[in-house]
Amino acid sequence: MDLLQEETLKFWDRLMVGAKVTIDGTKHDYPIHPSSYIEGNTLKKFVYLESESGHVTHAYIHDQHGRRIREKTMDIRKGEDGLMVTFFFQLEIKEGITSG
């Protein structure tokens, strides 16, 4: 991985500070799980739902101002067991030449 890819992924990693997950129609705040990591050109973020149970329908990762960075819709019945919601961000940098 080159310096541009590495530093861009680190920037995105630091930008994402929390998540909101909708369970049974109510939004809940969650931290980003500490097992999140960068592998190659992919940033992998995890949000762990531990104690709540119910119908999980929506989740998004946000920055410190609450701005949505990535979101997903789901239809999961969560029981007593934990649930890990995953967000993968793959970075591809392309070079090109423009004339004009």
Does 24 reside within a domain?
Answer: yes
Its domain, for residue 79, covers 3-86
Does 98 reside within a domain?
Answer: no
Complete DSSP assignment for 31-47:
EPPTT-EEETTEEEEEE
Does 50 reside within a domain?
Answer: yes
Residues 6+ apart with CB under 8 A from 48: 30, 33, 82, 83, 84, 85
Q: What is the pLDDT of residues 57-67, one digit of tens each?
A: 999 999 999 99
Q: What is the pLDDT of residues 10-46, one digit of tens each?
A: 999 999 999 999 999 999 999 999 999 999 999 999 9
Does 25 reside within a domain?
Answer: yes
Q: Measured between alpha carbons, how far is 29 from 38 in angstroms, rounded to an integer?
A: 23
**Number of domains forming the structure of the chain:** 1
Does 93 reside within a domain?
Answer: no
Does 49 reside within a domain?
Answer: yes
Does 77 reside within a domain?
Answer: yes
Q: What pTM does this model have? A: 0.84
